[in-house]
Amino acid sequence: MHTEGHCADRFDGLRKAFEANFRDRDEIGAAVTVILDGEVVADLWGGHADVARTRPWQRDTLVNVWSTTKGVAALCVHVLADRGLLDLDAPVARYWPEFAAAGKAAVTVRQLLSHRSGLSAPQAPTIPADLYDWDLMTTRLAETEPFWEPGTVSGYHMLTFGHLVGELVRRIDGRSLGVFLREEITGPRDIDFHIGLAESHDHRVAELQPPPEADNSELAALYAQLGPVVLTTLTNPPLEAAVANTTAWRRAEIPAVNGHGTARAVAQLYALAAGGMLSAEAVERARTGQGACMDLVLGAALGYETEIGLGFWLSTANGSYGPNPRAYGHDGYGGSFGLADPDARLAIGYTMNRMGTQIANDPRKMVLIEAVYASL
């Protein structure tokens, strides 16, 4: 496997781990970037941008990073809070009055960011195409009664997180979250990350290979074990990974799951979340845990307790984002991730197009993180 890009000598272990992912873990195309003390110390890419392996992965190859986007959406919210335009402990309804419906008048911004609002899915029947209609989705969420008592426990807001926090941004700033991101954060810094991708970038987008599908008997057995909250979150709307290869998906703004970027851009944005743009106080707010628990949506599948800060998952004793329990980040469906560790002055971004089957902590991710920290 021939790797493109550059890597400081001390991070040669990362290069070897990155190349091993192609040799041992069926990588098709991927990239990884490490920023240390504000300097890009590793920026590697390789493999192919299409499943047929005819199109080489380039320095500027974009890929849909699924829920790694959530950390970027959270960064936008923290920027508004840092500017004094948003109180994280205020009721969401202060900024979005319609949200107070169905018993949600007391739900706070903090609860939205920590997946504790009880709105892990709309209650009205929803199809995938509805995700593209911003006003429809935000109206449905405003009308939805929480599935559990807000603030008591987290329940991963898989698809709804972006519409919830994005509507907050729109109500406060007047711009959509994707436009706010472009005009306030990525554009001025030449960061190649997009929520709502313009047609002019389509030729750079990598084709995702969805994870293997379970057979019908396995799916039936799985769904028979799921509680109503999990089942509704996973199936309303029902979503297949291949949808991310469509034009409609790319054009829409779905700030929970459809950010497109390079690994370099992911690392740059998580470096901003680690203090490159946020104040020290904002960084501490972002990584303050809101209580460890078995997540109502993901807990049974993960098999261990997790803890979410304000828009980011904490590393904790599980080491999901390295050995520092106060490091934080976000995984994307299939394997991508962004990591922020203010104590180590470190940020990592990883993107790929062969989607794995694990909900979190894909083996490719974990060997890259281990290699980076071994080099510090």
Handedness of CA 235, 240, 241, 243 (dihedral sign): negative
CA distances from 332 to 37, 183, 257, 369 (A): 25, 24, 8, 15
Is 336 catalytic? The answer is no
| Residue 14 DSSP one-character state | H
Q: What is the DSSP string of 87-118?
A: -TTSBGGGT-GGGGTTTTTT-BHHHHHTT-SS
The answer to whether the beta carbons of residues 208 and 241 sit under 8 Å apart is: yes
d(CA 133, CA 274): 32
d(CA 198, CA 186): 15
Block residue for tokens 């904002």: 282
**DSSP three-state, residue 338:** strand
d(CA 261, CA 249): 14
| Residue 275 DSSP one-character state | I
d(CA 340, CA 156): 20
Which structure tokens are listed for 267?
């690392």
d(CA 11, CA 306): 30
Q: Which of the following is catalytic: 67, 117, 315, 320?
A: 67
Beta-bridged to residue 36, according to DSSP, are 39, 346
Catalytic residue annotation: 67
